[in-house]
Amino acid sequence: MKRSEIKRKTPLRPAASITKTPKPPKGPKSHRCKNKSCRGPYLKDPKQPWVEWCSVECGTALALLKLANQKAKEKRQDRAETKAKLAEYETIPQLKARLQTVFNTFIRLRDDAYPCICCGKWPKGDGALHGGQWDACHWKGRGAHDHLRFNEDNVHKGLKDCNKYGHTDYRGGLIKRIGLERVLALESEHAVVKWDRDWLRERISHYQRRVRELKKEIENV
């Protein structure tokens, strides 16, 4: 049995008769001027695709800004190179002085929530945390016990008057703060220390980082 052919009611158009509607040509794309004080629209010249400004005035302003940024970058690089060179020739006393400054700041921040280690009191009025009425007080003085200069158990926040005119009861406050065992360990420590530049630089970086961390913690309280 033969199958009968199915005739289409509408015959297919030949391929040649199918025509696509052409898309209209795109116009030139508008751009924004890179000059922040202008930001006006402009059309790029195909022959100068690198141009990012709408007028000669804006082009001049961008060129001057680029020049100023380049000079500022070179100045920062020069300062960094000079700082690195000076650091190479920094003496042990200079490094110790730098470390002492950042270490003292760390101590005052670390003990922010505590009263004076010597008298157990808070200053009258508003005592400034940095300087002001507070000092980083050494239990064993730096002169006779230089090896304990940067020992965190040996240094605590105290009132300037207590530090200047003599400790009222530093030892008693120290025992309450860190315990008798650690106080006795401090008092029996008689090591001779030989300061090393690399160690001092490493400690400076360490306490600079700790100062930043403590400042953030205090701000977020």
Res. 135: pLDDT tops 80: yes
The answer to whether residues 128 and 141 belong to one domain is yes
Q: Tell me if 24 sits within 8 A of 15, measured CB to CB.
A: no
Q: Is the Cα dihedral 79, 198, 206, 89 positive or negative?
A: negative
| C-alpha separations of 155 from 66, 87, 192 in Å | 50, 27, 19
CA 140, CA 136: separation in Å to the nearest integer? 12
Question: Which tens digit of pLDDT belongs to each residue from 162-208?
Answer: 888 776 789 999 999 999 999 999 999 888 889 999 999 999 999 99
The answer to whether residues 79 and 154 belong to one domain is no
Res. 128: pLDDT tops 50: no
Query: Which of these three, 69, 88, 107, is where a domain ends?
Result: 88
Res. 68: pLDDT tops 90: yes
The answer to whether residues 112 and 75 belong to one domain is no
The answer to whether residues 84 and 123 belong to one domain is no
The answer to whether residues 64 and 127 belong to one domain is no
Q: Tell me if 182 sits within 8 A of 153, measured CB to CB.
A: yes
Res. 17: pLDDT tops 70: no
Q: What is the share, in percent, of the chain residues with pLDDT greater than 90?
A: 52
The answer to whether residues 205 and 107 belong to one domain is yes
Structural domain includes residue 205: yes
Structural domain includes residue 35: no
Q: Is the Cα dihedral 10, 12, 16, 19 positive or negative?
A: positive
The answer to whether residues 117 and 214 belong to one domain is yes
The answer to whether residues 70 and 164 belong to one domain is no
Round to the nearest angstrom and report the end-to-end CA distance of the chain: 95
pLDDT for position 25: 64
The answer to whether residues 83 and 153 belong to one domain is no
The answer to whether residues 84 and 105 belong to one domain is no
The answer to whether residues 79 and 98 belong to one domain is no
Range of the domain at 55: 41-88
Give the total number of structural domains in the chain. 2
The answer to whether residues 166 and 204 belong to one domain is yes
Detail the DSSP E strand segments found in 109-184: 134-138, 155-159
Query: Which of these three, 60, 88, 116, is where a domain ends?
Result: 88
CA 164, CA 216: separation in Å to the nearest integer? 30
- Confidence class of residue 47 from pLDDT cuts 50, 70 and 90? confident
Q: CA-based angle 193:175:194, to the nearest 5?
A: 5
Structural domain includes residue 21: no
Structural domain includes residue 143: yes
Question: Picking from 105-109, 121-125, 144-148, which range would have the lowest pLDDT averaged per residue?
Answer: 121-125
Phi–psi pair at 90, nearest 5 degrees: -65, 135
Structural domain includes residue 107: yes
